[in-house]
A = this chain, B = another copy of it.
Amino acid sequence: VSEDRFLHRLFQRLPPRPEAVAIPAGDDCAAVRPEAGRLILLAVDQVIAGRHYVATGPGAAAPDLVGRKLLARNLSDIAAMGGTPRYALVACAVTPDLTADWLERVHDGILALARDWGVHLVGGDLATMPAGTVLSLTIVGDVAATHVVRRCGARPGDGLFATGQFGASFPTGHHLTFTPRCAEGRWLAENGYARAMIDVSDGLFRDAMRVAVASGVGVDLDLDRVPLRSPATDPLAAGGDGEDYELLVAVAPERESDLVAAWPFPEVPMTRIGEFSARTAPRMIGRDRGGMAINGRTGFDHFGGGSA
C-alpha cells in the first residue's frame, strides 16, 4: 500500500465533515473556521511500539486499542484545560513488516473514539522507517477564553481533588481502554471549580508536583486517600507508575462542599486527596509516610533509560 493510496482511502472513510471544516484532509493543509471568543488549544503526543504498548508476542496490544490510546492520551490533555476536542492530525512512521491491515485497524481505533468525542481527522502523514513504529497525534481543541484552566492557579489552602483511581494501569489494561475525562474537565472549568488542573500521565506524584511548582505553592498529598484501581496495588507504586489519565484539580476551600454536592458524574469518583500549602516543597502525608518528599524522580518519565 502506498502512502497516497492509504491516506486517500483513510480520508474517504471519514464521516461527513463538520460545518467548521472549510477544507478537509487531502489538500496541502486542512482549513478550519475558529469560533469567535474561543481560544484554540494545541497539543501533541506520541505512542511508541514497545514503550507505550506491547508490540509483539502473545501480549501484543490489539491495533485498534493502540490507535484508541493515541487519541485518548491527547483528549486527556484537552480535558485538563477544560476544553472541547475538535480536530486531529496523525503522523505514522512504521516498520516495513507491519501490514496495511494493522495500520488500518489502528486508524479504526482512532476513528471510533474520534466519533465518540466529535473529533474530526483533518490531516495525516505516513512513512516507513527501517525499524520501530511511532504514532504521533496532534490534537486541536477550543475553550472559552474566560474558562480555560492552567496548571498555575493553585493557592495555599486549595483542596487537591482527583477523578477516578490510580495505579496498575498497565496490568489492568487501563492504559489502553481508559475514558478521557473531557466531560469532567469541561464541567469543572465551565462551573468555575478548577483553579488549576492537569491530567495524570507521568504519575500522580510528579503531576501533582507540577501543579504545585507552576503555582508557586507546596502540596501535601495524603497517600491514604488515593483511590486505587486495583486493591493489591501499593499506594507508593500507584503514585509513581503513571498512565492514569485522571484529572488533578485545585479547588478553592469555599467551593469544595459545593463541588462534592454538585458533581454530576456518579460513575467517576471525585476524591479529595490532599491540600495545597504555603510550603514550597511538595510532600506525601498519611499513615507511615509523614513528610516524605515528592520529587521529579518519584514520577514516571517516558524519556527514561537513554543517554540522550
| A interface residues (Cβ-Cβ under 8 A, vs B) | 1-4, 6, 22-23, 26-34, 36, 38-46, 48-51, 76-78, 80-81, 83, 87, 89-91, 93-100, 102-103, 122-132, 134, 136, 138-141, 143, 145, 148, 150-152, 197-199, 214, 296, 301-308
Contacts and interface: CB of A to CB of B under 8 A. Distances in A.
Contacts of A89: 42-44, 138
A77 B134 CA distance: 22
Contact of A28 (B2, B51, B80): B80
18 contacts: A1-B303, A2-B301, A2-B303, A2-B304, A22-B39, A28-B77, A29-B43, A29-B78, A33-B40, A34-B38, A42-B122, A42-B138, A44-B138, A46-B127, A46-B136, A94-B308, A129-B134, A131-B131
B198 A127 contact: no
* Copies of this polypeptide in the complex: 2
A145 B31 CA distance: 9
Contact of A143 (B31, B99, B123, B138): B31
Given A22-B145, A31-B41, A40-B34, A93 B46 contact: yes
Among A27, A96, A97, A130, the one with the most B-chain Cβ atoms within 10 Å of its Cβ is A27
Given A46-B93, A93-B46, A128 B1 contact: no
Contacts of A83: 29
7 shortest A-B CB distances, which residue pairs? A3-B303, A96-B306, A34-B34, A28-B80, A138-B138, A31-B39, A29-B41
A61 to B, nearest CB: 16
A197 B100 CA distance: 30
A4 B76 CA distance: 18
Given A33-B145, A51-B128, A93-B132, 16 more contacts: A3-B301, A27-B81, A29-B78, A31-B143, A33-B39, A33-B40, A36-B36, A43-B123, A46-B125, A49-B129, A91-B138, A96-B308, A97-B308, A98-B306, A130-B132, A131-B132
Contact of A308 (B26, B90, B100, B141): B100
